Structure 1
Amino acid sequence: MSGRPLRLLAALAALVLAGPAVAATQACRLPGVEHEARCGIVKRALDPARPDGPTVDIHYAVLPAVARRPKPDPVLFLAGGPGQGAIDIAGTVQRLMGRLGSRRDIVLVDLRGTGRSAPLDCADSDPLGPLAAGADPARRLAALKSCRERLQKLPYGDLRFFTTTLAVQDVDAVRRAVGAERIDLVGVSYGTRAALEYQRQFPQAVRRLVLDGVAPPDMVLPAAVSVDAQAALDGLLDACELDTACRARFPALRATWSTLLASLPREVELTHPFTGRRETLAVSRDLVASLVRQALYVPAWTSALPAAIAEAAAGRFDGLFALAFSGLDMRGRGIAQALHFSVICAEDAPRAASGEAPGRDFGSTFADEYAAACRDWPRGEVPPAFYRVVPSPVPALLLSGGADPVTPPRHGARTAAALGPKARHVVAPGAGHGVLAVGCIRDAVFRFIDAETEADALAVDFGCAATLPRPAVFVPPGGPR
């Protein structure tokens, strides 16, 4: 009898920390969003097995629907990375989901370790600093180790508890906090892995599933990166050979690329893309491969790669660095690095031996750097079921860019087959990493989610995706055309 009150208090504490534990939402302003949003927090146990232990505050934001009587199923958005906060890109998400936002609330969740939710941020290399500081793998590894040791001293610093499996349990607490029985779940890049894990654990809570740039749980990310980047680069080289203007200006682009790689390492002088300072830098083969991979993400950047490769082969590297730096966010909305490694080291690194042979030009450097970082990284527990994609009980839409260097169609096709007859895989041959931004795709996604019946959702026409061309190769003025 004497122990009963204590047991009751412990049970109540467990309910508070594992359940919604909602602080009332309050009006807030979000970057890039014109209208007022509502922001809230759910308090969660860092370790679900210890409800009386350290906690993390999971931040979420709601972009209210324009309609007076919105649909009961909000759109819940999961960002990429792993490590990107969703609230920081609220303006971008609102533009992507504009029509959906007229009838449905849009819910943004900063997964644990990202954005404002117990962030596991490291001091990223200064984009205005010397280029040599970010080009040295040993320096990057040392900085990451120092960051990890600093974060482990925080109250929520046990890095074993920052996995996708635990993160989506927080997401379900947010769903309950906003009072939604079911949600329309949209994930991009790594967010697709989180969405698949959410549906695995909470299938009854999903009404529609949209995956843009599919990164399935069995992907073994570091190994896949080399293979997929190689395929994207080969696709560009093929496209140049088929393009009259590109072939005329760069008649031996493959040989030029091979010549560039064979000339490395070498010391070069170049202009810093942001500061305009002239710097001298030792450029390695691995660094050039990394720059090219970064430029392959967006077709508009990719179109300028033939010219940048030709310039670099002639000793002028300014264009290649400028393309690669185009994707850096100068406003500090980057990736929470320690969260990124907590996820990859727990979920991908242990399965590295089952990965693929590296791409011809990209090699194993990327995988090797991850292996070095993960060697001493605390690893969370990942249930075996995490790696299995189960049949989807609801309509699922998978989007892939044919020129995507990181989540190309082969991953979407495999995942769609596992999801079963209610899954549709749409490939936009000319698109890169991220297809939702394409106008006609965005409208079709609206119809897919807005459809009243599952049959109508699966019948939505996505034929426009096949007609989207790859951007024409940029041919600089001068020389043959």
Structure 2
Amino acid sequence: MPASVEGSKKALIMVEGGPGRSSVSLELFMDKLHRELSGEFHIFTVDHRGTGRSGRLDCPAAQALSLGSHYIYDISSQEVSNCLKDIHHQFGTNAAAAYSITNAAKDLAMLVETEMADYDVYLYGMSYGTLVVERLMHFSPPQVKGYILDSICADHYEPQGTGNNQVYSNWDDDVKHVSQHFLDLCQKDTAVCGKLLGENATTTLFNLYDTLDANASACSAIFYDTLENKPSVFLRLFFFKLLGRYDRRKFIPTFAARLERCNAQDKDVMTAILTKNDPRENSVVLQSNLLQDTIVYSELWQVPTPSMEDIKQQFLASPMAVNDPDKVGSYCVFTGSNSSECAPWVDMNVPPWTYTPDKYFNKTAAIPIGVSVLGLTGNLDPLTPSKHARRHFNNMKGDNKKLVEFPVAVHGVIGNTPLSDNHTDPHCGLLVVADFLLANGALDAINLNCMDKVQPLNFDIPDALALELFGLDGGAMDGKLHTPAQGAKDYNFTVVGLGLNALLKHSKAKATRGKYAVYEDACTGNAS
């Protein structure tokens, strides 16, 4: 998105998260920032190598990520073996390192140093994108004047057992603390949430799980008969999804209360809500879960791996959760590990598809001279909790840094700090980023007044919101299902159609060895 100010030599590069997500979902924020910056900046985004329009990494011969696969966008544990054999057929045995975090950072460095050699450049990373940006700081391109880290992944891993390892294998340990914090805030709202879940919301939720699991409620049938899943497992996943959405998390106590009450209308309503398949974002067809697994199992997983039982117990210890014990099997196949927990997969005869972390792994870069770093974190973010953002900023040597904490924000601060009920307004996080950029990275010049105007967490649900988000006519707690209008059905078909078109458009993108040459430093530890 070019600057509208003639002769501008300022650029912002926005890096999406994942790993494995394409940049499509950042395009809306690019437009909003362009307006807030009055056109002073050229704004770019880049598809991480191996995603979307940058040679999407997949295994077409195995069809694990094809429309014919049962999982379509995900690789099931049953599909991993054939998928990896296909990948090795395409690229050979030592190509996984081409898709490392370091090489993604090198791509950005090359872009900055060649195409923007005479620009003042700022880099924004969201979620996993912060890891890429943090890795880039090691190379310190002189054109880069500032870094913005939104929903921060810490790049330093402390000894196992400390609770300070921000890795996928202990994800639910982080989710536990955030979800309990949310429920603590919930029970303090005695006017609404406290009435629904009582004085100890966490205990109420666990008791609900036990009742439903024991088939002691009429609503147990929703899970055992319709969904064919254990209630306590399905609901932890369902509530986790709601927890990460600032406009939907307020429904958690109401839906729990309706399941607890479970009259005939409650059962109909909750059956419809829990069995609904929301249309996927268009960006999903451009992402690569194969790339995600390549990076996660190489750099973002505990070694030695925890057991399936360990991950299961973490899942059950949290009131809301997300991790899948089957990921242990995928880890074992991807890495070829001979640890005791990988014994069931050791004879699968599948060549591993991971890489050895390079010299930048587990090292926090110091802030380069003349550069500033702005961090944004939400205290109710279940994906990248604030405790890791604080830890990262403590480890990052240098004083020219500022971490801004939003007490009730979720993941992706620039789009989850609303100032009004009009969701099209710029959110506070985005305004803070714009201030930082307009001040040329001067941290003391940032205006944080909008933080006092961010919508507080509340559990009062307007009838219009219940109708808009979940089709409930008559309120969230007592409403019945509303028959969707034809326009809504047409919208769903349109979303699916756009998704299919995007998939077909980009499925032919093939990565080649020449295009994805491994940088020397990623393999040998020598600077290239």
User: Are residues 1:191 and 2:191 paired?
Assistant: no
CA gap 1:395/1:381 in 2 versus in 1, 3 angstroms: same
Q: Deviations over 1:208-228 (max 9, x none)?
A: 100000012234422442122
TM superposition shift of 1:280: 4.1
Matched, 1:232 2:232: no
Aligned residue pairs total 403
Shift of 1:444: 2.1
Q: Which runs of 5+ in 1 are unaligned?
A: 1-62, 272-277
Structure 2 partner of 1:346: 298
- 2:451 maps to a residue whose letter is A
Q: TM-score, normalised by structure 1?
A: 0.73
Higher share of residues assigned strand: 1
Measured in 2, the distance between the counterparts of 1:350 and 1:372 equals: 14
Aligned: 1:425 with 2:403: yes
Q: In structure 1, how many angstroms separate the alpha carbons of the residues matched to 2:477 and 2:116?
A: 62
Distance verdict in 2 for CA 1:214–1:331, change over 3 Å:
closer
What is the CA deviation profile of residues 371-409 of structure 1, one whole-angstrom value per residue up to 9, with x for unaligned ones? 221112122121243211122121100000111001121
Q: Is the 8 A contact 2:101 2:135 kept in 1?
A: yes
Work out whether 1:67 is the aligned partner of 2:15. no
Secondary structure at 1:68 match in 2: coil
Paired residue for 1:242, among 160, 183, 188?
188
Contact 1:269 1:281 in 2 (8 A): no
Maintained 8 Å contact 1:75/1:106: yes
**Match for residue 361 of structure 2?**
386
Distance 2:477 2:365 in 1: 55
- C-alpha contact 1:441 1:462 (8 A) present in aligned 2: no
| Distance of aligned partners of 1:363 and 1:401 in 2 relative to their CA distance in 1, 3 Å threshold | closer
- How far the C-alpha of 1:365 sits from its partner, in A, is 7.7
Tell me: CA distance 1:440–1:220, structure 2 relative to 1, closer, same or farther (3 Å). Answer: closer
Instruction: Please tell me whether residue 141 in structure 1 is matched to residue 129 in structure 2.
Output: no
3-state secondary structure, aligned to 1:150: helix
Paired position in structure 2 for 1:301: 248
Deviates more, 1:403-412 or 1:95-104: 95-104
Mapping for residues 435-446 of structure 1, pairs under 5 Å: 435-437=413-415, 438=417, 439-446=427-434
Which amino acid counterpart does residue 435 of structure 2 have in structure 1? R
Which of 213, 217, 220 is matched with 1:264 structurally? 213
By how many angstroms is 1:294 displaced?
Answer: 1.9
2:162 paired with 1:213 = no
Write the letter of the residue equivalent to 1:434. Answer: G
- Which gives a bigger RCO, structure 1 or 2 (Cα 8 Å, sep 6+)? 2
Who is 1:151 aligned against?
A: 87
After superposition, the C-alpha distances for 1:281-320 in whole angstroms (9 at most, x for unaligned) are: 2235333322222221112111111112233445644476
Q: Name 1:408's counterpart in structure 2.
A: 385
Q: Which range moved further: 111-120 or 90-99?
A: 90-99
Match of 2:230 among 279, 283, 289: 283
With over 3 angstroms needed to count, the CA separation of the structure-2 counterparts of 1:319 and 1:426, relative to structure 1, is farther
CA distance, structure 2, for counterparts of residue 430 and residue 88 of structure 1: 22
Q: Distance in 1 between matches of 2:428 and 2:64?
A: 36
Q: CA deviation at 1:336?
A: 1.0
More deviation, 228-237/279-288: 279-288
Against the structure 1 CA distance between its residues 465 and 228, is the aligned structure 2 distance closer, same or farther, given a 3 Å change threshold?
farther
Tell me how far apart the structure 1 counterparts of residues 53 and 140 of structure 2 sit (CA, whole Å).
24
Cα pair 1:399 1:435 within 8 Å, conserved: yes
CA contact (8 A) 2:240 2:321 kept: no
2-structure distance, mates of 1:187, 1:124:
29
Q: What amino acid is the match of 1:405?
A: P
Structure 2: distance between partners of 1:270 and 1:364: 20
Asked whether the 8 Å contact 1:431–1:470 carries over to 2, the reply is no
Alignment equivalent of 1:434, drawn from 412, 415, 423: 412
Gaps of 5+ in 2: 157-164, 335-352, 418-426, 462-474, 479-528
Q: Structure 1, residues 299-350: CA drift from partner, whole Å, max 9, x if none?
A: 2111111112233445644476379x65842564463100000110110225
- C-alpha change, 1:353 and 1:477, in structure 2 (3 Å) is closer
Rounded to whole Å, the distance in 1 between the matches of 2:81 and 2:243 is 29
Alignment-derived partner of residue 372 in structure 1:
329
How much has 1:107 moved relative to structure 2?
A: 1.4
Provide the residue aligned with 1:76 in structure 2.
13
1:441 offset after TM fit, Å? 2.5
Q: How does 1:47-66 map to 2 (within 5 A)?
A: 63-66=1-4
C-alpha RMSD of the superposition:
3.6
TM superposition score normalised by structure 2: 0.67
Distance 2:289 2:137 in 1: 26
Identity of aligned residues (%): 18
Query: 1:466: Cα distance to partner?
Result: 5.3
- Are residues 362 and 477 of structure 1, via their aligned partners in 2, closer, same or farther at CA, if it must alter by over 3 Å? closer
**Alpha-carbon distance in 1 for matches of 2:67, 2:180:** 29
